[in-house]
Amino acid sequence: MTTKKAVAVSAAIALALGVSTSASHAAMAKVQTVQVYISADTNIQDLWVKTLVPAFKAANPGYDVNVTFDLHGDHDAQETAKLTAAATLGKEAGCIVLNEQGEEDLFPTNGGMLIVHPIASTALFDIWVAALK
């Protein structure tokens, strides 16, 4: 997996976690959906669908995972535009956008990003950093 694609996957994972947890506390009792965008080969798709997603769901009851897979990055430009729009909208909706160092950064130049409600930012940042290791 190339660095560019790894960055895109990290950003997508972070975005998905952030978006899924920006709901109100009352809504947290419902199943939350984590949206993951992956741009890679089919072996990476298999890893996510057959191993990582089931493990995440087992360790995090109340979460579902929706994987959008882009074979060989054929639609990277469109997915990047969606992530950029989501970051902007998340910021406008009161979320914070963190880079991999935990600093507020609306458009990190490298690495991933986490869009999250401030109340959940510390806990989700710790989970995200641990997942990236």
- 37 phi and psi, to 5 degrees? -105, 125
pTM beyond 0.75: the answer is no
User: What local confidence, expressed as pLDDT, does residue 29 receive?
Assistant: 57
User: What local confidence, expressed as pLDDT, does residue 6 receive?
Assistant: 45
Per-residue model confidence as pLDDT tens digits over 17-72: 444 444 444 444 578 887 777 888 888 888 888 998 898 888 888 888 888 888 88
CB distance 19 to 124 below 8 Å: no
Q: What's the whole-number average pLDDT of the chain?
A: 75
